[in-house]
């Protein structure tokens, strides 16, 4: 475990970082794993795909976003720009100068895409898990999500946490309690929706390989068509029967697709689909374009 102080935001913050490197020989690539918002942390990678990535010869960097996990929780400074600046400072302090593969789950994918817009020569590839670039539509969606979280986890915290504990278990209740504290004691619910958004011109300027992964039952399913119209080097996959929590619920499939993207730059491996479960247009593998 390491703590790195960044210059992100007005005063910078301390970030909890974990780096795992192959023991035999130089790494084939470096992957930086970025987690989602509020209830997430680097643990979602540490206990799923990170060890297997290292075993495959990849240098892995994970960190808790500001306000999350073991990183510091500043009172303010939670616009998308602050998260991207944290990533810039982190890579600089770790002296990682070669292009990296950015793997972003949900909000982490939004941070990764913004970094790629700012630093096109520093990104070898983007792997987006249930994530989209920051657009006007994204801002509206994240505003609605955060407003609901404020109602449920702040205004009715006791009732909501009791329900979560009874129906989702003690571990999920602890995550929800931490998210409630973050929303209650910082400006994150106000800052994230006020982030600057990208124009279609800026999105089109991304030239590195991009792989976008969705669950067929997720609200984001269908976004791949829009992304394909903007990005010349985009591949997408839709996992049948999966919702938004693809990383947690299907880590093996995510790992196979990610390794294919990083090491082979080829087409995704075949993914078995139970009879009758494939969405419209699917074959007996992930829906891939």
Contact assessment for residue 219 and residue 213, using Cβ atoms and an 8 Å cutoff: no
Instruction: Give the per-residue pLDDT at 11.
Output: 62
Neighbours of 148 (CB within 10 A): 10
Residue 106 falls in which region: left (phi positive, over 0), alpha (psi -120 to 50) or beta: left
pLDDT at 53: 96
DSSP class of 143: H
User: Tens digit of pLDDT per residue, the chain (289 long)?
Assistant: 688 988 654 567 899 999 999 988 899 999 999 999 998 999 999 999 999 999 999 999 999 999 999 999 999 999 999 999 999 999 999 999 999 999 999 999 999 999 999 999 999 999 999 999 999 999 999 999 899 888 887 777 788 878 878 888 887 778 888 888 899 999 999 999 999 999 999 999 999 999 999 999 988 877 888 888 899 789 999 999 998 999 999 999 999 999 999 987 533 333 333 333 333 322 223 444 4
N residues, the chain: 289
pLDDT of the residue at 1: 65
Question: Tokens 């070898």 map to which residue?
Answer: 124
Residue showing tokens 């499939």: 253
The span from the CA of 164 to the CA of 56, in Å, is 37
């Amino acid at each position: 475990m390491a703590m790195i102080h960044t210059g992100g935001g007005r005063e910078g913050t301390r970030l909890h970082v974990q780096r795992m490197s192959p023991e035999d020989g130089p790494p084939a690539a470096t992957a930086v794993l970025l987690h989602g918002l509020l209830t997430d942390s680097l643990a979602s990678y540490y206990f799923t795909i990170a060890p297997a990535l290292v075993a495959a010869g990849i240098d892995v960097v994970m960190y808790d976003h500001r306000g999350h996990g073991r990183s510091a929780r500043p009172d303010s400074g939670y616009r998308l720009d602050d998260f991207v600046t944290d990533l810039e400072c982190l890579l600089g302090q770790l002296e990682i100068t070669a292009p990296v593969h950015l793997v972003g789950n949900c909000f982490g994918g939004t941070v990764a895409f913004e970094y790629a817009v700012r630093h096109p020569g520093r990104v070898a590839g983007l792997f987006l898990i249930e994530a989209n670039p920051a657009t006007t539509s994204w801002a509206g969606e994240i505003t609605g999500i955060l407003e609901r979280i404020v109602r449920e986890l702040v205004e009715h915290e006791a009732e909501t946490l009791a329900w979560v504990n009874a129906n989702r278990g003690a571990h999920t209740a602890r995550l929800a309690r931490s998210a409630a504290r973050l929303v209650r004691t910082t400006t994150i619910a106000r800052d994230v929706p006020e982030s600057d958004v990208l124009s279609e011109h800026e999105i089109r300027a991304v030239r590195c390989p991009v792989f976008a992964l969705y669950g067929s039952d997720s609200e984001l399913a269908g976004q791949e068509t829009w992304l394909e119209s903007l990005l010349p080097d985009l591949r997408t996959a839709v996992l049948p029967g999966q919702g938004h929590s693809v990383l947690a619920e299907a880590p093996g499939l995510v790992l196979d697709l990610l390794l294919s993207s990083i090491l082979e730059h080829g087409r995704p491996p075949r993914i078995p689909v139970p009879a009758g479960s494939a969405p419209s247009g699917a074959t007996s593998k992930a829906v891939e374009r």
